[in-house]
Structure formats: C-alpha cells, structure tokens
Structure 1
C-alpha cells in the first residue's frame, strides 16, 4: 500500500496585493505535516505560490494518480482563491467552478478538468480531496475585517464575466449532473456554494478557517474519526467561532463512513 499526497497553497498572486491571501501556504504546510507525521504518508509533495501554476498542478495530480493500485491512499489538498466563470464554449446557460492557480490570468483550473483527471482512478484506490477555496460567485471579494478575508476571486481580475444571482443558481445546479454515488473520490470543501471560505487570523497566524479547524478536529479525536464525523465536528467548530460557512462533504456513503486517510 502506498500513501501519497499533493498539497497546494497560494497566497501571492501576480495581479496586485489586494488580491493576495495570507493563510494558504500555512494550510498546505499544515496538511502536509499532518499526513506525514500522523498518517504515515511517505511521499508528500507541495506546490506553493509561484510554483503552483496550472500546468504544475495538473502534472502534480497526474503524478499522484500515476501507477496507483488497489489499496493505495491518495490525498490532494488545495488552498487558494476560487471562482465561477461562464463556460468557454459560450453557452450562457452553463457555468464552471474553478480553482485559481498562480497563473490564473490565463489559466483557471475548472471543475470539469479535475473531474476528468479523477474519473480514471483504479478500483479500490482511495482519493481524498480537500478544497479550502471559494466558489461562491460573490461579485466582490469582501474584507470582513482585518482578521478575516474571503477566498473568492472577482472574475473581473482575470477578464472573466461576473455572474448575476440567476446565473449563480444555474451554476450551482450543475452539480446535480454529477451524483455523489458515482464519485470515486471524496471531497471535503470549505463552504456551501452560496457562501465564502474565510482566510482568517487564528492563534497568532493566518490560516483557512476550514483547514485550521479540520486539523484541530482531527487532532482532538486522536487522529481517529470518519469523514462524516470530521465534517460534523468541523461544522460545529466553525459555527461556534461565528464563521458564515458550512463545510460540505461529497462522496459515496461507504467512503463518508470510513476512517480518514486510511
């Protein structure tokens, strides 16, 4: 059995400090440390800031999946901006979610591309995806206060089209085309599609609120809980801290009720 991970974190983007984040690199480092030190992952690669271009992230995911066989445990974590955008084929009735790599101005990584990468996972290979970015589609990236910032990127920054409320509802409805029961991977994400994920100042440093509290929940449980239990505890922790985000868990029921990272 092989245990491998790819952890991506992007704070610094090349299109102005006002669009930078502060906790994403810490998130990538924290997930990498957790997996190596407490779950015996033997190969953990990281892509941080300028190294996390779209091409390198795709190559990293392909390397993660390459040669995987039954019994292998794989993890992909991403902490960055996220956004919605209109489909590139010009169909105004369809929209894509996207994570924003370092070179977002020319290369968004859309959900369909990730789905295509994951669809050929061999049987009985377990892939966990942890996404601490935001696909809320809000038209502005709001500074809640100096200690909390949203991880949603205004599409205008990279020449994209902002979505109206009606268009956002269409975009969110697109997920229904991909039922959880058909997913080979499990996905833990930072918020509902109509919310934002926070980049927050916690315990004297910056972190993603979801990542920080997920790792806290795992540690408090002595590294022994299921994905469903993790999501339930995470929702409670964020609610207690007055974050306006509800982490989501997607995947088949068997995967949800299995022990994390095993």
Structure 2
C-alpha cells in the first residue's frame, strides 16, 4: 500500500517502516537521547504478521494552499520520532507503522488509513491503534449543534483550502469526524490518540512569538470567519473521547487545551512540537509509568521550558492509571 501511494503521488512523503529505518540526522542536530535504553514491554510484544496493532503517524510542515510564512517546522520530525519510539519500545513491527508527511497527508489519505484500521478491527482483530497528528489546528463553525462555543475544533491536512469566509471542511478533519470514526472501535480495542496542534489564537502570548517558536494555529481565513469562531471551549478535547458510546473508550493525549496554543520550537538545533519532544523523552526514559505520571512529568517540563500550554490527558480513570501502550479494563472508569 505504501509503495502504491508513493507512485500515485509521485512523492516519497509516505514512509513505510518495512525495512531499514531512516538514517538519523547528524549528531549535532538530533535531540539528545536519554542514556536509558527503551525496553520492549512484555504486554505489547510484537504480534508479527497477525496485525494486532497499527500506528499511523502524521506530520505536516508544508501546506499546498498556504503561504510559506504559515508553514511549520517540527511536525515531520514529530511523526518520524514517534514512529521510532513505537518500534523501539512498544512492540510495533516495521510493517505495522505508517508515516504520512506533507503532500502524502491529505484529508482523504489520513481518513482512508483510519477507516481501513477500523475495518480491520471489525474483521481480523486489530487490537491496538495509535494515531499521532502534528500540524496546525484551527476552528470552523459548528454545524451539528453539539458545541457550546458554536465552533468545532479542526485539524489541518496538507490540502487545507479556503471556501468562502471559512476553511473548506473537505480539506481538514473536524473533531466530530474524528470522534465518529474512532467510535467505531469495538469494545476491547485500545485506541490511543496524540494531537500536537493548537486551536485558539486567543491563547497567544508573547512567549509564543519568540524566535525559534511558532504557534501551531491557523485562524479562519477572513475577518468574518474569525468573528464566527471567536471563542473556544477548553472542554472540547474532553468531549472528543467522553462522547463515545458502546465501543472502546479512546485515550487522548493533547499538547494543550483547546483554548490554548501548542508550540513548534527548536530543541538542540532541531525542530519538534514542544509537547511531542517532552512526551517522547518521558516514554524513552521509563515507559512503565502510568499515563498520568508521564503526563505530569511532561507538564513539568513544559513549564520549566516556559511554554504556556498545558498538556491534556483524557480518557477513563483506568486508562490514566495504566502505562501508555497498555490496555485497561473498559468499564473501570
């Protein structure tokens, strides 16, 4: 599938982890790795060709219809780095990880991959899905009437484009669409979502505009559009996972509240999302800790680095008290 998509697009932005991993950047430009080797956790040992786990890591720096000044720098690194950690410490085989970057990460491509995963979950027993997404966040008018702030959170794909006063819904992923897709996960399936985007320009502060930092936020494309999405509900991410019905309850890790901004920043000469950078540091150091403990350490690091964003952990209580990458009792919180 990866090679076919590469040929169709005429690009190499789709990275299939089916052989040697990408050559690391020169030492001076690579994030300093902790001295502790990442252990392979017994409860997520590789399932080989059975395909019981699948990871889709998406990172978008460049955008087809946006000026270069609105592009980002660290999202592709986020996706590749997360894929590396999943393979090194969480039992994902190379063929169970796909990375979509830049032109390969259109809305259709991302949603098709997620739909395929949900189809597999219903047919051949996919048990663990990881979806990471690093890009711009934005807001669009709520059309379903389920948002108190009358705005839907949305995630920009490569083909993001304008339609009238707003962004074209056909060129981004709304929180409603992501929720509806994830809610197809059957009971007993572990779904972990990591979002390193931001969703409200009202959270911008001077620190976000320092050299080497860029907020991962795009306002609506016109003044009228901005007026229609002028507020943000900080509980929106909570709703993304809490509204799930009889199926699996997903676990969500988000780089900030939905009324804040996430930073694209330089660490040791290399760009990453601040949230992803600190999260992966913690997962490499000791992945056996609970999600709650790991996220507390990430928040502490963000605060120490003078990032105003407050990372969010949403999901059942049992999920918060279990290690990242591990299943939890579905009805225990």
CA RMSD after TM alignment: 2.7
Q: Which runs of 5+ in 1 are unaligned?
A: none
Matches within 5 A, 1:44-55: 44-55=97-108
- Specify which of 309, 316, 324 is matched with residue 252 of structure 1: 316
Matches within 5 A, 1:65-214: 65-68=118-121, 72-88=127-143, 94-105=150-161, 106=168, 107-138=171-202, 144-156=209-221, 161-163=225-227, 167-169=230-232, 171-172=233-234, 180=242, 182=244, 184-214=249-279
Contact 2:251 2:315 in 1 (8 A): yes
Cα distance in 1 between the residues matched to 2:203 and 2:253: 24
Cα distance in 2 between the residues matched to 1:185 and 1:153: 26
TM-score (norm 2): 0.71
Task: For residue 249 of structure 1, give the secondary structure of its aligned residue in structure 2.
Answer: strand
- Report the counterpart of residue 92 of structure 2 in structure 1: 41
- Report the counterpart of residue 19 of structure 1 in structure 2: 70
Matches within 5 A, 1:224-243: 224-243=288-307
Cα distance in 2 between the residues matched to 1:92 and 1:248: 20
Contact 1:138 1:154 in 2 (8 A): no
Report the structure number with the largest CA radius of gyration.
Answer: 2
TM-score (norm 1): 0.89
Cα distance in 2 between the residues matched to 1:150 and 1:214: 18
* Offset of residue 93 of structure 1: 6.0
Cα distance in 2 between the residues matched to 1:88 and 1:120: 22
Cα distance in 2 between the residues matched to 1:141 and 1:80: 19
Shift of the 248–13 alpha-carbon distance from structure 1 to 2, 3 Å rule, reads same
Cα distance in 2 between the residues matched to 1:174 and 1:198: 19
Cα distance in 2 between the residues matched to 1:179 and 1:77: 15
Cα distance in 2 between the residues matched to 1:89 and 1:71: 31
How many residues align? The count is: 258
Task: For residue 237 of structure 1, give the secondary structure of its aligned residue in structure 2.
Answer: helix
Q: Which runs of 5+ in 2 are unaligned?
A: 1-46, 162-167, 327-333
Shift of the 177–20 alpha-carbon distance from structure 1 to 2, 3 Å rule, reads closer
- Report the counterpart of residue 7 of structure 1 in structure 2: 57
Cα distance in 1 between the residues matched to 2:148 and 2:288: 45
